[in-house]
Amino acid sequence: QKEVEQDPGPLSVPEGAIVSLNCTYSNSAFQYFMWYRQYSRKGPELLMYTYSSGNKEDGRFTAQVDKSSKYISLFIRDSQPSDSATYLCAMSFTGGGNKLTFGTGTQLKVEL
């Protein structure tokens, strides 16, 4: 079993839809949670960061962490074609060897 599980998709939605992307994890020590966005043929870029449990909102994006369920989510409101990309969750913990553990990524396509 992988430490971090993520549905690979692909996920196709119409423009303007609300998108929900999710990851589950098994290591209860994880305390730093991130979402990276990766456009085709590019390197990933940090999109959202959350420490421990709770929500964080940034424009159309909301990140949620539920540590009791070992479950994190990324919501995209009013999705746009420019949101079409692969979204990777990533997580770590203090003393984790300075490493991030990534999910496999979910490929999202927002259609006109």
Which residues form the interface with another protein (CB under 8 A)?
4, 6, 8, 31-32, 34, 36, 41-46, 49, 51, 88, 92-95, 97-100, 102-105
Sorted by sequence, the CB contacts under 8 Å of residue 33 that are 6+ apart come out as: 49, 50, 51, 63, 65, 72, 89, 90, 91
- Taking the complex as a whole, the smallest distance from the CB of residue 5 to another protein amounts, in Å, to 10
How far lies 33's CA from each of 3, 94, 102, 109, in Å?
A: 14, 12, 10, 23
Give every CB contact of residue 94 below 8 A, 6+ residues apart in sequence. Answer: 31
Shortest distance in whole angstroms from residue 92 CB to another protein: 5
* Residue placing its CB nearer to another protein in the complex, 45 or 111: 45
Q: How far is the CB of 44 from another protein (least distance, A)?
A: 5
Give whichever of 73 and 104 is closer to another protein, judged by the CB atom: 104
